[in-house]
Every structure is written in C-alpha cells, then in structure tokens.
Structure 1
Amino acid sequence: MIAGGPCGTSGDDKCGNGDCPTIFTTNKPGTLAVQGYTTGHTTPGGEAIVTIPENVLWEAARALGR
C-alpha cells in the first residue's frame, strides 16, 4: 500500500465503512492497483474503472518521488 488505506479514527471516515480508496503497488513494473468505487461505465471482461479522491493520487505520486 502506498496511499490511502484505513480511514482515520477522528470521525473523518468519508467512506462510511472504515476502508477508504487505496493505491497499491503490484509485481508488474509501472502498474498500480486501485481500490475505489465502480462507475456505470461498461468495460471489457476483467477490467473496471474506479474513482479515487484526487488527494489519494497526489499522495501516491509523492510516495513514488514524483
């Protein structure tokens, strides 16, 4: 996990379930796994489009030194 993850304990759980959108590293170079909310957009089998808060993406970029 490089960004996101469990929501804070200060009552700021915007996800409502204690597990916010998260970005993970994978074993494939240059590839990130993204946990988020699905959209209504149809994708090919095995694929999904998820939404993540912009600040989580920026946090991931900072963690990767970009």
Structure 2
Amino acid sequence: MVGKDPDSNPTGSPTIYRTDRGSWFVQGWVVSDPEALATMDIPEGETVVEIPDRMIWFFREFFEEEARAESGS
C-alpha cells in the first residue's frame, strides 16, 4: 500500500497500491452517476483497476498544465 486518502473517514478510501509488476492498483468508490459513466468505457462491476507505470505521467502532465493555466504562463 502506498497511501490512503487522509480526509476520508472512517475507511481511508480511495487507496493506491504499488504492485511488483510495474503497475498500480487504484481502489475507490463505485461510480453510479450515469452521465459520468457515459463518458468512460468501464465494464459493468469493475471496482478496482490496475494501471501501468506509463499512465502515471498523465497525472503529472495534467497538474502541470493546470498550474500553468492558473499562473497565466
């Protein structure tokens, strides 16, 4: 386990796990919002996903772009 959301009580979900296969498990809440689900391609019943290391960079890129937009540069 890498970390749990410190602001989520009592369970500390969502949670991020590091595997020994060069990937991550992401545990979180089941999304039931039909509008949100319509924008994604998620099989019925999926509650935990495994993402490869190469996908983590998308988080960094997103937050760096957000910071640039907020600073006006």
Q: TM-score, normalised by structure 1?
A: 0.40
Q: Which has the higher contact order (CA 8 A, sep 6+)?
A: 1
Q: TM-score, normalised by structure 2?
A: 0.37
More strand by share: 1
